[in-house]
Chains A and B, each alone.
Chain A
């Protein structure tokens, strides 16, 4: 008996046929994963990788803080000023010699990658930002981890896009997708992250990228919650809003917050170019001096201003500080964050902005309650609203500011106070400082990037703005050619609109009509001799840009009513459109 089993009845597939099957499978899958679908799936992976990176980043900051400053809060200890100073020296050396592209918050760099560098952010930026921001924030510099997380996410996404050799158009969008993932992971707040990226990084609403941004933000938040839990940044106290008249109190908070935002932005805008203009050797010492100053403030009794300050915000939210302390902490934090940021230390401004807003909100709320004891809003409510106020006034992201407060608090009861206060803050800030802080920083760096705020303020020209009145002579397609020819005798126009029931509108020139008449076609209806295609119609509310694609081909373009396409509202011509654009550019 043979040990060999015959396989004649069921032949084993040969290696060549297996390869062909695999190739066919891959070929089928290739068809499924066309570029749009592939980009969406890639967004999920960007979220996962960014989330993993941000988890490590947060651990690194915590570890650094424990290693450098210890687990218990220090009071009157030499560590308070020695640690941030020495860490500042280390960071300065790393920034100047190893990671030169990581100064500042990272929001502008991500925006520049989108608009100037075709989505290119070196991977070294992610590494450098991770290391230096962890050292800086962990050692107590008055900066936050959110903006660096945003840049780390953007850098990872950019590197991945380049590695996968995706199209330039998609590569350009990788940075904001990664930015949303990084920010969402840092804040544990996907909606705010998506809105911020749209408001501040992309600069305009774009349906094409929204899906990817949302997917990456959500997946990164899932990762962070998986590893670090779903504990919110703060323990939210009971927040109340009972009487509409109390909105006045929140409006006052908005105005004060707007003024503080302007002071904060102007101090950064003034000091940053001054420090950058100093000789290069001073840049080795600028972060160290900033650290020394912050350490001294902490040593003298305000250690709350060190680092991101989330614990202190939490305590302020629960009424742990009197209004004087809150006000002092707000002022000191503005000073500390200004020196940290302008010194070129890598780190973000989100957390300090929240801190200043929280302290200011608590102080204003407490003062208001001294004069008006009937106010029902708790200190926690004012602290929470104050956070949004500074976000709206300083970062100038009004939508994000509202959703950020709602998402962080999980409480929709305070939506009205938040909207009122944020609106006042935004208006005051915009009134006193034309250029938002991120635009100011990019302009100081010699770059001009688009801004959603400017876009919002720019009046859009519409078709109705260039529209001419309805012409005196309108021809009818169902009339005979000779009747129409008689009708134009009193007119001086060169081109006439023809109402063509039911298809729409056509045009005919005076010469064309006269030629038809001379050719003996006077007894025919005008519709029967005109070409069948009609002139495209426009609606009055359409952007004037949409008229540009027609005015070159048609001497007259009818502007019709949306309810009745045969009802003429007016006409536009190439001259009327160009005249309108010319008037706008002269005015600008």
Chain B
């Protein structure tokens, strides 16, 4: 079968081209109309499927969400919202094989809009899932400095906090700390925000930074018991026991049920009462504290030796045993206690306390964490070491 147009016009090249052009324009318009209608239908279908996907994702049914988002994307392949949602569902489905696909969608979106903060944040989370510190940090930074559709300040802080948490989790406290510095300068005057920052400083073991943030909270909300307890704990961890005692006492007063604060307060009291190196105490008091610490060290040493099945008084104990060596040092040092009263013996307190500190540290490593007075002495030893260094 062959269809042929009637010969209405002479078959000359210009006329043919004119007719072809008209036919092409007509075809173009017709197909354009068809495609527009098809696209409208597809977009409507896509929106319904997208809504289904969002519902499924919200309920944690990621497989259903992925199927719905995929179907939505077949209806509207260029829709970046659908792509972003699919990528998020793929990432959150806890299937490592799906991370590649999620990343691929996100990279495509990123190439189209590298300034889009939501895309960068999603990419950062993919990188975080993979454990890549370098990529995650880059994308989190892009998200922080990118364009947010709404509430940019809060979203930027959230992105930075997420990055800090990721860095802490990956054991990169130095990087986390520098992010925390940046975070602390951009926080709004909002107690929960400062409280969260303080907790992150604590996780990063930057207790002085944490203390500053807790102080900010207390400045805004003086009765905040969490901030009081946090400030006390931060001061305690940074070796600032006088401040710790003040804050912990206030925390216990504000919330008597706070067992952790009570325990820290008890230890702090012990430290402050027994630290022979504390300023503004008399020589008599200092000597008393040294003697008490020395006696406590001997007690701890004996208990620890018994715990490990070692009889320090028996003959034939290996002199190479660390506990035996310490007991020997303790015995050698004991007569020196009487010379503490002499004003000429300026180095003696340090010498005696050095034996005490060695015993507390060694027994802590052999027999486990100390308690009560031993814990106090152990912490004093740490503070002393830090001061010397």
Chain A residues proximal to chain B, CB less than 8 Å:
25-26, 29-30, 33, 38, 41-42, 45, 48-49, 52, 55-56, 59, 62-63, 66, 71-73, 122-124, 159, 162-165, 227-229, 231, 235-238, 311, 315, 318-322, 378-380
Q: Which residue of A lies closest to B46 (CB)?
A: A71
Known: A52-B28, A71-B74. A30 touches B13 (CB 8 A): yes
A45 touches B13 (CB 8 A): no
1/0 contact trace for B96-123 toward A, CB 8 Å? 0110110111011000000000000000
Q: Report the Cα distance A21→B74, complex, angstroms.
A: 55
B104 touches A318 (CB 8 A): yes
Residues of B contacting A55 in the complex (Cβ-Cβ under 8 angstroms): 31, 35
Can you spell out 16 A-B residue pairs with CB atoms less than 8 angstroms apart?
Answer: A26-B12, A26-B15, A29-B12, A29-B14, A41-B17, A52-B24, A52-B31, A71-B45, A71-B75, A72-B68, A163-B5, A229-B78, A231-B77, A235-B108, A318-B104, A378-B100
Q: Which residue of A lies closest to B83 (CB)?
A: A235
Residues of A contacting B77 in the complex (Cβ-Cβ under 8 angstroms): 229, 231
Known: A26-B14, A159-B3, A237-B104. A320 touches B31 (CB 8 A): no
Residues of A contacting B107 in the complex (Cβ-Cβ under 8 angstroms): 238
A38 touches B104 (CB 8 A): no
B71 at the binding interface (Cβ < 8 Å): yes
B105 touches A235 (CB 8 A): yes
Q: Report the Cα distance A220→B257, complex, angstroms.
A: 78
A30 touches B34 (CB 8 A): no
Give the number of A-B contacts (CB < 8 Å). Answer: 100
Residues of B1-32 contacting chain A, CB below 8 A: 1-5, 11-17, 20, 23-24, 27-28, 31-32
B67 touches A72 (CB 8 A): yes
Most B C-beta atoms less than 10 A away, residue of A66, A236, A321, A379 = A66
The 6 A-B residue pairs with the shortest CB-CB distance in the complex, in nearest-first order = A318-B101, A33-B13, A29-B14, A319-B100, A318-B100, A45-B20
Q: Which residue of B lies closest to A219 (CB)?
A: B24
A56 touches B2 (CB 8 A): no
Q: Which residue of A lies closest to B45 (CB)?
A: A71
B1 touches A124 (CB 8 A): yes
Chain B residues proximal to chain A, CB less than 8 Å:
1-5, 11-17, 20, 23-24, 27-28, 31-32, 34-35, 38, 45, 49, 67-68, 70-71, 74-75, 77-78, 97-98, 100-101, 103-105, 107-108
A258, chain B: closest CB distance, angstroms:
28
Residues of A contacting B15 in the complex (Cβ-Cβ under 8 angstroms): 26
The 8 Å CB contact of B2, one of A72, A123, A227, A322, is: A123
Residues of B contacting A62 in the complex (Cβ-Cβ under 8 angstroms): 38, 74
Q: Report the Cα distance A229→B76, complex, angstroms.
A: 11
Known: A49-B27, A320-B98. A33 touches B67 (CB 8 A): no
Residues of B contacting A66 in the complex (Cβ-Cβ under 8 angstroms): 45
Residues of A contacting B101 in the complex (Cβ-Cβ under 8 angstroms): 315, 318-320
B49 touches A72 (CB 8 A): yes
Residues of A contacting B23 in the complex (Cβ-Cβ under 8 angstroms): 49
B5, chain A: closest CB distance, angstroms:
6
A237 touches B49 (CB 8 A): no
Known: A231-B78, A320-B97. A48 touches B31 (CB 8 A): no
The 8 Å CB contact of B31, one of A41, A63, A227, is: A227
Residues of A contacting B103 in the complex (Cβ-Cβ under 8 angstroms): 237
A52 touches B27 (CB 8 A): yes
Q: Which residue of A lies closest to B24 (CB)?
A: A48
Q: Report the Cα distance A29→B15, complex, angstroms.
A: 10
Q: Report the Cα distance A437→B75, complex, angstroms.
A: 35
A33 touches B14 (CB 8 A): yes
A227 touches B14 (CB 8 A): no
Residues of B contacting A320 in the complex (Cβ-Cβ under 8 angstroms): 97-98, 101
B170, chain A: closest CB distance, angstroms:
23
Q: Which residue of A lies closest to B32 (CB)?
A: A227
Known: A165-B11, A319-B101. A122 touches B2 (CB 8 A): yes
Q: Report the Cα distance A252→B95, complex, angstroms.
A: 29
Since A123-B2, A319-B97 are in contact, a sample of 4 more A-B pairs with Cβ atoms closer than 8 Å, ordered by chain A residue number, is A45-B20, A56-B34, A59-B38, A236-B104
Residues of B contacting A45 in the complex (Cβ-Cβ under 8 angstroms): 20, 24
A163 touches B4 (CB 8 A): yes
A383, chain B: closest CB distance, angstroms:
11
Q: Which residue of B lies closest to A158 (CB)?
A: B2
A135, chain B: closest CB distance, angstroms:
17
The 8 Å CB contact of A33, one of B17, B45, B75, B104, is: B17
Residues of B contacting A378 in the complex (Cβ-Cβ under 8 angstroms): 100
A42, chain B: closest CB distance, angstroms:
8
Residues of B contacting A124 in the complex (Cβ-Cβ under 8 angstroms): 1
A369, chain B: closest CB distance, angstroms:
14
